[in-house]
Amino acid sequence: MSLRLAALALLLSGGAACTEGDVVAEAGSAGPSLDLAPEDARDFGPLPDFHLVSERGTPVALADLGGRPLVFSALYSTCTGPCPSIATALAELQQELSDTDVLLVTVTVDPEIDTPAVLAGYARAKGAAPECWTFLTGTRDEVYAFVRSGLFLPVDQVAGAPPGERVTHDTRLLVVDRQGRRRGWYEGKDAGQLQKLKKRVRHLAAEGR
């Protein structure tokens, strides 16, 4: 890992409570850049490979995502904090990007509860079209390693907390280009940031066409 990425990972080591919806200051960039312009050439290194399981029970690695632009989120199905509103925003984003090949990828941060069957039900409830929005789970070690060192988002469990509050995690969304490189983080609870994300990912979708 480069010094820049190591420093970024260290910066992200603190969690944000899902029930509070706080975000870690300056995370997702080499500085306080959360809203890169659509055509900004900067990237933050390649997304590492992963081996998780989809809501359909099929193994999924980075290569299986077909070289498409990706929007990653880290949520969980029983969350009583900001996750429901972010999932609603993702459903709207799915509709708004339906004329592109952008793929939304939601990684559960409560994999012990969110089995493929549970995620399949969650996907149906949120109106997820399988070709546009997929959900991933795995073992806790696999999921947390990918969220922390792949998405550069903090995540942890809270011992003894009720189900809807048992995980702390970041609420930002990560955009990844066709080459599998991280291209920016956008706050999933902020309408203005989501509009900037949409413009960014549309630009990336047009690249390589």
Per residue in 162-200, pLDDT (tens digit) is 878 788 889 999 999 999 999 999 999 999 999 999 999
Q: Give domain status of residue 39, yes or no.
A: no
Residue 38 domain flag: no
Residue length, the chain? 209
In a domain, 34, yes or no: no
For range 38-55, the mean pLDDT: 95
**Whole-angstrom Cα distance, residue 123 to residue 134?**
8
How many domains is the chain partitioned into structurally?
Answer: 1
Q: Is the residue at 35 inside a domain?
A: no
| Host domain of residue 165 | 3-29+44-206
**Is 146 within the bounds of a domain?**
yes
Average pLDDT taken over every residue of the chain:
85
pTM higher than 0.75:
yes
Residue 33's pLDDT band (cuts 50, 70, 90): low
Taking the C-alpha atoms of residue 89 and residue 186, their distance in angstroms, rounded to an integer, is: 12
SS3 for the chain, per residue?
A: CCHHHHHHHHHCCCCCECCCCCCCCCCCCCCCCCCCCCCCCCCCCECCCCEEEECCCCEEEHHHHCCCCEEEEEECCCCCCCHHHHHHHHHHHHHHCCCCCCEEEEEECCCCCCCHHHHHHHHHHCCCCCCCEEEEECCHHHHHHHHHHCCCCCEEECCCCCHHHCEEECCEEEEECCCCEEEEEEECCCHHHHHHHHHHHHHHHHCCC
The model's confidence at residue 91, banded by pLDDT at 50, 70 and 90, is: very high
Structure tokens at 105: 């990828």
Does residue 123 sit within a domain?
yes
* In the predicted structure, residue 45 carries a pLDDT above the cut 70: yes
Q: What is the pLDDT of residue 166?
A: 81
Residue-level pLDDT at 168? 85
Quote the pLDDT of residue 41: 93
Residue 72 has pLDDT above 50, yes or no: yes
Give pLDDT, residue 10: 36
Yes or no: say if 91 and 132 are a contact pair by the CB < 8 Å rule: no
Domain annotation covers residue 188:
yes
> What is the pairing mode between strands 103-108 and 70-75?
parallel
Residue 24, domain CATH? 3.40.30.10
Lowest mean pLDDT among 4-13, 50-59, 71-80: 4-13
Handedness of CA 32, 37, 43, 49 (dihedral sign): positive
Q: Is residue 162 part of a domain?
A: yes
- pLDDT band of 15, cuts 50, 70, 90: very low
